[in-house]
Amino acid sequence: MSSKLEAIGIAKRYGDTTALEPTDLTVQAGEFLTLLGPSGSGKTTLLQMISGLVAPSAGRIEIDGRDVTHMEPGKRGIGMVFQSYALFPHMSVWDNVAYGLRMRRKTREEVRTAVDESLGMVRMTEFARRFPKELSGGQQQRIALARCFAYRPSVILLDEPLGALDKKLREHMQAEIRRLHKELGATFVYVTHDQDEALTLSDRICLMNQARVEQVGTPADLYDRPASRFAAGFIGHSNLLEGALDETRGASGEPILLAAGGRIPLPLGASIKPAARHTLLVRPEAPRLVEPQSGFVDGTISEVVFIGSDTRVQLAMSDGSALTVRCERSVSPRIGDRVGLVWDPYRTTLLHA
């Protein structure tokens, strides 16, 4: 079961601090949406207003079209999982998972079925009799998830649930969370400041910065078409090149940016604002190395780093800027070599802010 979630003009102030500017956000039923952003950008504040743990200063929250802004947290049909698992130390795993169901006055039989099913989902059935202190961090986090899933909320809010785990376990748990999202079919709103985690998990990402939403879109939207410099810089590695538009157009009528000592064609039909300077983004995997003078721009190789699957090459451009390119391992660039760079113009994004 899943529900559609809507925040309409939701805002939060603490005295002089604006924790969240008025924000609109819709999460579709069954969607996995991630709130991504740097520390202090308002992610937890937004999540807690959805849950009802924090009262908004303005705006409202709707679940399936029903206004729940003033409804108690326990009545909203929402489950929450936090970074600190907050399991009851004196209760067994089984009792921890059963707790919420007993509070909801379910029958013995209902409790038993739901607890067994939830423990099965997080693959912890054989740990039912243990106590929290007898479990690893990852196992405790699974129990925290099972406890939340047990009463089948239609919306599940997760605030950095994997933050305390090491990298390997975190990656394993990310795969588990994806599986559980599919299995439960509930609407998930997930908070993280880890861009890789957001790209891996999400149907859509809501990128936040300084108490407001910067951009909402699929992982590919944010990576390929970032709406701002902030978005470009926060997700993936970005090469930003500054320059002025050429008066003349290219052979097919495409606009040309004079930047990094070369002529860089922009996509045909790129929307260009009248401005003296323009910034464009090109991701490191777009350019290919070619002979000097035969690409859009030339540069001198200043650094070559082997990163396993491929090689990361740093180039010094004639205008003093630096550009990073990822090359296949079959290419063997040498420091000091002069090379040209060429790429598909549709992989160039013009940034407007």
Ligand X SMILES: Nc1ncnc2c1ncn2[C@@H]1O[C@H](COP(=O)(O)OP(=O)(O)OP(=O)(O)O)[C@@H](O)[C@H]1O
Binding site for Mg ion (CB under 5 A): 44
CB atoms within 10 A of CB 107: 9
Which C-beta is closer to ligand X: that of 44 or that of 141? 44
User: Quick one: what does residue 3 bind among Mg ion, ligand X, none, with the CB cut-off 5 to 8 Å set by partner type?
Assistant: none
**In the complex, what is the shortest distance from the CB of residue 191 to Mg ion, in angstroms, rounded to a whole number?**
6
Provide the strand spans (E) within the chain.
5-14, 17-27, 32-36, 58-63, 66-67, 78-81, 155-159, 187-192, 204-209, 212-217, 239-245, 256-259, 262-265, 278-282, 288-290, 297-306, 311-317, 322-327, 338-342, 348-351
User: Quick one: what does residue 243 bind among ligand X, Mg ion, none, with the CB cut-off 5 to 8 Å set by partner type?
Assistant: none
User: Quick one: what does residue 192 bind among Mg ion, ligand X, none, with the CB cut-off 5 to 8 Å set by partner type?
Assistant: none
Q: Which residues bind ligand X (CB under 6 A)?
A: 14, 17, 19, 37, 39-45, 193
Which C-beta is closer to ligand X: that of 12 or that of 142? 12
Q: Which residues on adjacent β-strands are paired with residue 303?
A: 314
**In the complex, what is the shortest distance from the CB of residue 37 to ligand X, in angstroms, rounded to a whole number?**
6
Q: What's the angle, vertex CA 134, arms to CA 131 and CA 135, rounded to 5?
A: 100
Which C-beta is closer to ligand X: that of 57 or that of 69? 57
The residue type of 251 is A
Which C-beta is closer to ligand X: that of 19 or that of 97? 19
**In the complex, what is the shortest distance from the CB of residue 44 to Mg ion, in angstroms, rounded to a whole number?**
3
**In the complex, what is the shortest distance from the CB of residue 21 to ligand X, in angstroms, rounded to a whole number?**
11
User: Quick one: what does residue 219 bind among Mg ion, ligand X, none, with the CB cut-off 5 to 8 Å set by partner type?
Assistant: none
User: Quick one: what does residue 42 bind among ligand X, Mg ion, none, with the CB cut-off 5 to 8 Å set by partner type?
Assistant: ligand X
Q: Which residue number has the CB closest to Mg ion?
A: 44
Most distant CA pair in the chain, distance = 78
**Torsion sign over Cα 218, 220, 225, 228:** positive
Which two three-digit tokens encode residue 5?
């979630």
For the sheet containing 239-245, what is the strand order? Answer: 262-265, 256-259, 239-245, 278-282, 348-351
User: Quick one: what does residue 262 bind among ligand X, Mg ion, none, with the CB cut-off 5 to 8 Å set by partner type?
Assistant: none
Which C-beta is closer to ligand X: that of 193 or that of 204? 193
Q: Are 18 and 211 a contacting pair, CB within 8 Å?
A: yes
Q: Are 235 and 226 a contacting pair, CB within 8 Å?
A: yes
**In the complex, what is the shortest distance from the CB of residue 13 to ligand X, in angstroms, rounded to a whole number?**
9
**In the complex, what is the shortest distance from the CB of residue 285 to ligand X, in angstroms, rounded to a whole number?**
28
Which C-beta is closer to Mg ion: that of 164 or that of 304? 164
